[in-house]
Structure formats: C-alpha cells, structure tokens
Chains A and B, each alone.
Chain A
Amino acid sequence: EAQVTQNPRYLITVTGKKLTVTCSQNMNHEYMSWYRQDPGLGLRQIYYSMNVEVTDKGDVPEGYKVSRKEKRNFPLILESPSPNQTSLYFCASRTSGRVWELFFGEGSRLTVL
C-alpha cells in the first residue's frame, strides 16, 4: 500500500530535549516536505526537499533541521524543543510531473512542556 509513515504519532517531551520525528514514504517520490498545523493558522511549510541531499526552508523553519540522505526518508529534527513548537506535524511526499499530488502522513502530535 502506498503510504507516508510518520513516527512517533504522539509525543510529550520537555524543553530542550532533542527529538526526531521520522518520515518514510514507499512511493519512490523525489519531493518530500514537512508542515505544522496550528489552530487558526492552517498548515505551514517548515522545510522541503526536492531530492536526496537537496533541502530548502519553507515558511517557518526556525528551530527545526532536516536531512535527506536517502530518497525514502526525511526526518524532522528539533535540536532544542520549546513550548511554541507544540503542534501537529505532517510529512508529505509528492508525485512528479506537470500534474502532481501531495500525499500526507497521519500526523505526529508533539507537546513540549
């Protein structure tokens, strides 16, 4: 089954404790992206990657890092989480070509105390 898988789905952590949210897709997509969703703000793009070893900032990259060492994986790293990073995070990957579609993971709900 074609899917985007995120882990963990739920996480409660404390300020300053480094964490990584993993994202993996099995569709051989070149493009992957991370979004955060906050009430009243919709989804905002954090980082995206057009291909392996190619990443770029989205609208809200502060406090986050990403890496793209292989095509299927695109982890999101919070080096020193803060309470304002409490959010629902979505990973997505996209088909190629002129007509494309974004596929989303199930989401990871992160709470930073």
Chain B
Amino acid sequence: AQSVTQPDIHITVSEGASLELRCNYSYGATPYLFWYVQSPGQGLQLLLKYFSGDTLVQGIKGFEAEFKRSQSSFNLRKPSVHWSDAAEYFCAVGKSSGDKLTFGTGTRLAVRP
C-alpha cells in the first residue's frame, strides 16, 4: 500500500528566508508525486507534480521539488518565502493508474514578519 509521511506538523520561517518541507513516500513502483497548498478556508491548489524525467521539478509561485528515489523523498523548496506563502502544504503519492491519490497529514507553514 502507498503512504506518505510529512514529519513536520508546523514550521515557522521568517519572511525572506529559505524553506524546505519534507516528504517521504512508500510505494512499490515508480510513484507519481504531488505537492498541494491549501490557504485558510480554501480548496487545494496544485503546486507541482512529478511523473518521470528530470528529478528537479519547477512549480508555481517559485516552488520546486526534488525527487530522490534512493531516499524515497520529494521535498518542497522555496529560496525566499513571502508572507502570502503561509498555508498548509500537502504531499501526495499516486499510482500510474490514477485511481487513488494518498495524502500526507500536512505541514502548516507560518511566516514571521
């Protein structure tokens, strides 16, 4: 069965500082990996996705993620955080068949002025 672990429940960073959110997955085959963001009271917005190819994936809002098969990780990064990035971030893993997307428990990001 597939699973996702986001080890950090809450993270606080200062505005302008760099950010890395951790994600580890468990899946027997090549995973499809996603990062979503959820602002307070909002739905989920896709930041980026990885299916194959280049292991460094660029997304929207200046985010990127790197797939590391040897570490079963797909960490999300941003070089300089803005106050508007305060939100909850979810990592997810899916099968190629697309019948199920399994989510992590989320990391809530706070941005210090």
Q: Which residues of A contact B (CB under 8 A)?
A: 31, 33, 35, 40-45, 48, 50, 56, 58, 90, 94, 98-102, 104-107
Contact = CB atoms under 8 A, between A and B. Distances in A.
A104 B100 contact: no
Most buried by B among A40, A43, A100, A105: A43
B73 interface: no
B54 interface: no
6 contacts: A31-B99, A45-B101, A56-B99, A58-B100, A100-B32, A102-B34
B51 A99 contact: yes
Given A31-B98, A45-B100, A107 B105 contact: no
A100 B94 CA distance: 10
B96 interface: yes
Contacts, number: 48
Contact of B49 (A40, A44, A48, A101): A101
Contacts of A102: 34, 46, 94, 101
A56 B44 CA distance: 23
Contacts of B51: 98-99
Interface of B: 4, 9, 32, 34, 42-44, 46, 49, 51, 90, 92, 94, 96, 98-106
Contact of A104 (B44, B98, B102, B106): B44
A48 B100 contact: yes
A94 B43 contact: no
Given A31-B98, A56-B99, 5 more contacts: A42-B105, A45-B101, A50-B99, A102-B94, A107-B42
